[in-house]
Structure 1
Amino acid sequence: MTQNSPIQLSLPVHLPDDETFNSYYPAAGNDELIQTLQISAAGKGAHTIYLWGPVKSGRTHLLHAACAYANDQDRRSFYLPMGIHASISPALLEGLEQLDLICIDDVDAIAGHPLWEEALFDLYNRVTEHGRCSLVVSAAKPISDIGILLPDLLSRMQWGVNYQLQPMADDEKLAALQRRSAMRGLHLPDDVGRFLLNRMARDLRTLFDVLDKLDKASMIHQRKLTIPFVKETLRL
């Protein structure tokens, strides 16, 4: 939702300012997916999109980016991570089809929960009937493998456009880290970036969190990013 939305404010969800399409470095093979998300966020193209890829593969960044893209065009968006489903009610999905863009993350978290599956099935139907809203759903696996028990929901999810998020090569992860650094006004030399790739978990979420820590330490100590400074800061 937009910032003033009562529904968005009632959820423990924050959309990061730095997770946009501009800050996303696409791996080879993901260009069509990103273009499709942008078109849908703008109110054109596919009404339902299913996106899957491993945990920490960048799915959440793309959903945040789609919401930011819609909001920049004065369109109403709503982001819901299903990992928090135990603390909210399926009734939250009622009426969302009146918005312009709905992004539901980690939908596999509600697989096997009848009330949530029914609520999501009803939302798919209302989105299709309403005709103006776009629904983007993400999970860690293909639709057939996430454990959805309601056959009608499986059928609805398979109607739309389906994309697998392609993984990044190490050179692409280095480029993504350097783009993220540059947006913060921080220079990340190639040797330091490769050091992080070799010594840290290689998923982008972990790498970005490490970069945030290094950025803060660099500002506090007024030091450039070097391998000795990184070792000292991260206690490696």
Structure 2
Amino acid sequence: MVQVTSQLSLPVSIKETDTFDSFIEGQNSQVCAYLKDVVSQLKSGHVKHWLTYLFSDNEVGKSHLLYATCQLAELHDVSCIYLKIEDNTDLTPEVLSGLEHYSLICIDDIEGLTHSLDWQVALFDLINRIKEQNTSSLLMTGNQPAKLLPIKLPDLLSRLSWGMNFQLMSLSDEQRQQVLVVKAKIRGMNMPLEVAKFLINHWPRDMSSLLNSLDQLDEQSLQQQRMLTIPFVKSILDI
């Protein structure tokens, strides 16, 4: 399914939580500084970084960074749009028509278009329009280096190499603990560092599972009016 979200309809949860402030940078500080600079360029009208590709394994934070960049753009009155591509799309490639009129265009998970030559042609054409216009910046993400994507259109692979390419690096266990503490704080919970460490060591280690555990803890801590302690976490998550 393709999801299109503009700066006028970003879900509130995304606007509140998926920001640069809530992103634990780890070894990705250069990428964060670069994305902030992209917005600064768009605000000033002098676009240098017009094409960017971020890649990593899942659960590293690619979508978070796109949301954060959109939010920063919105704060500076820079028009933006976010589009997520998945394998089973309900929309046609025509959805890419006219996106060059936004200042910031974010396209998430472009590996989802590798099954369709029509989508690849549409993205190729969009890149060309953005390059010719030179007033917008296109940010894209994928699950592997651009040159390894199974894209059938050679010209599109060539275009992807024109811009800046960054690999997002996974977080250490200590940084994952920081993520849990920050995300819990956003939800109004105080998670001591020792509780976060306990979760890292006794719960599935992927960030999706770790963050999903906060849903259960948040609900039960409110119902039971309990603080986040290791015994409480053990009882709720049945660890």
Partner of 1:118: 121
- Would the aligned equivalents of 2:87 and 2:115 in 1 still touch at CA under 8 Å? no
Query: Is structure 2 residue 158 aligned with structure 1 residue 160?
Result: no
Structure 1: unaligned runs, 5 residues or longer: none
Distance, in Å, in 1 between the alignment partners of 2:115 and 2:78 is 33
Partner of 1:36: 34
Report the 3-state secondary structure (helix = DSSP H, G, I; strand = E; otherwise coil) of the residue aligned with 1:159.
coil
Structure 2: unaligned runs, 5 residues or longer: 1-5
Matches within 5 A, 1:1-236: 1-3=6-8, 16-17=14-15, 18-28=17-27, 30-42=28-40, 43=42, 44-83=47-86, 86-236=89-239
CA displacement 1:49-90 (0-9 Å, x = unmatched)? 000000111111111111111111111111111016521111
CA displacement 1:177-196 (0-9 Å, x = unmatched)? 11222233321112211111
Distance, in Å, in 1 between the alignment partners of 2:225 and 2:127 is 52
- Would the aligned equivalents of 2:7 and 2:79 in 1 still touch at CA under 8 Å? yes
- Would the aligned equivalents of 1:118 and 1:153 in 2 still touch at CA under 8 Å? yes
Q: How many percent identity over aligned positions? A: 35
Report the 3-state secondary structure (helix = DSSP H, G, I; strand = E; otherwise coil) of the residue aligned with 2:231.
helix
CA displacement 1:150-197 (0-9 Å, x = unmatched)? 010001010000000011110111112112222333211122111111
How many aligned positions are there? 228
Q: 1:48 and 1:147, CA in 2 relative to 1: closer, same or farther beyond 3 A?
A: same
TM-score, normalising length from structure 1?
A: 0.91
Q: Pairwise CA RMSD of aligned residues? A: 1.7
One-letter amino acid of the structure 1 residue matched with residue 31 of structure 2: L
Distance, in Å, in 2 between the alignment partners of 1:85 and 1:131 is 32
- Would the aligned equivalents of 1:58 and 1:205 in 2 still touch at CA under 8 Å? no
Report the 3-state secondary structure (helix = DSSP H, G, I; strand = E; otherwise coil) of the residue aligned with 1:50.
strand
